[in-house]
Structure 1
Amino acid sequence: MSEANDRTLSLERTFDAPIQLVWEAWTKPEHIAQWWGPKGMETRIIAHKFAIGGAWKYAMTMPDGSEFIADGVYKDIVELKHIISSANFRPMTEGVEIQAYFEAAGDKTNFRFSVVHPTAEYCQQQEQMGFMNGWGSVFDRLSEFVGK
């Protein structure tokens, strides 16, 4: 296993929606607010400049009223192919890179999401904290959103 693989956690999904719809769900703030964050959270868009070098910042409110801040800067965007960004999910996760890859599959979209951590140890810690369940819940919400 390569060193980068030791630092990366990934999820794959096939969404029952065309790639253009899934892409818009990821790139338009009014759509992001509808699905970003695990079930039970509400998301408010604070900043969203969808361009390389552009910053994004979202506030996620838990049912108990506590708030988490997610932010980052877009590093690379290729329309209908991928979005790569730095990311922090304070206070749980900081200093990671998120990568979202999109591939058209007829009227469906194959999707791969990866989070690259600064160290293998941090990656293992994040996995043990519930990475798969947390992001799995987020992408369940995205699937429901694009399936409407």
Structure 2
Amino acid sequence: MNDRTVTIERTFDAPIDLVWAAWTKPEHIANWWSPKGIKTKIIEHEFKVGGKWKFVMPMPNGTEFTAEGVYLEIVKNKKIVSKADFKPMTEGVEIQAIFKTNGDKTDFTFNVVHPTAEYRIQQEKMGILNGWGSVFNRLEDLLKSIK
């Protein structure tokens, strides 16, 4: 996309309605939006443009990792765009989840837009691709289990 964006693409073996539900229903988000072995606590989830979301992941060492943001754009079964902070590691990014029907599967594109190219490079060195990759593996497992 540009020099500030990290992009991850996947095809999920699930219909778009199911993938959309996994992204938008708190009971599903709690089961995939975190590293393996950790259950996400949904503190706030106001799924509308301008609505706030806040998810907390209790880490094995006792600390908490907080993901929070504001929904900027929501187009059902197509796109969710948020301003987001992932404290303490990443702040001031925009995340874009883009969904596209591919038969009975769903093509998925995830963009993380950083304020600067330098910040994107720093985030890549910290493991952003592995981190989100493992979370999307969990999403894939969840989709198989609820299909």
Q: Cα distance, 1:102 vs. partner?
A: 0.3
Q: Cα distance, 1:141 vs. partner?
A: 0.2
Question: Displaced runs of 4+ in structure 1, greater than 6 A?
Answer: none
Does the CA contact (< 8 Å) of 1:40 and 1:62 recur in 2?
no
Q: d(CA) in 2 for partners of 1:18 and 1:65?
A: 37
Match of 1:111 in 2: 108
Q: Cα distance, 1:17 vs. partner?
A: 0.6
Match of 2:30 in 1: 33
- Quote the sequence identity (%): 65
Q: Partner amino acid for 1:33?
A: A
> Are residue 24 (structure 1) and residue 21 (structure 2) matched?
yes
Q: d(CA) in 1 for partners of 2:116 and 2:57?
A: 26
Does the CA contact (< 8 Å) of 1:9 and 1:115 recur in 2?
yes
Q: d(CA) in 1 for partners of 2:115 and 2:41?
A: 27
Q: Cα distance, 1:42 vs. partner?
A: 2.1
Deviations 1:44-88 (A, max 9, x none): 000000000000000011122211111000000000000000000
Give TM-score, length-normalised by structure 1: 0.95
Match of 2:120 in 1: 123
Q: d(CA) in 1 for partners of 2:52 and 2:90?
A: 17
Does the CA contact (< 8 Å) of 1:43 and 1:59 recur in 2?
yes
Match of 2:78 in 1: 81
SS at match of 1:89: strand
Q: d(CA) in 1 for partners of 2:143 and 2:58?
A: 22
> Are residue 95 (structure 1) and residue 80 (structure 2) matched?
no
Which runs of no fewer than 5 residues in structure 2 stay unpaired? none
RMSD: 0.9
2:68 to 67, 71, 77: 71
Deviations 1:110-138 (A, max 9, x none): 00000000011000000000011000000
Paired residues, what number? Answer: 145
Q: d(CA) in 1 for partners of 2:11 and 2:51?
A: 28
SS at match of 1:34: coil
SS at match of 2:94: strand
Q: Partner amino acid for 2:116?
A: T
Does the CA contact (< 8 Å) of 1:42 and 1:62 recur in 2?
no
Which runs of no fewer than 5 residues in structure 1 stay unpaired? none
Match of 1:13 in 2: 10
SS at match of 1:5: coil
More displaced 10-residue stretch of structure 1: 38-47 or 132-141: 38-47
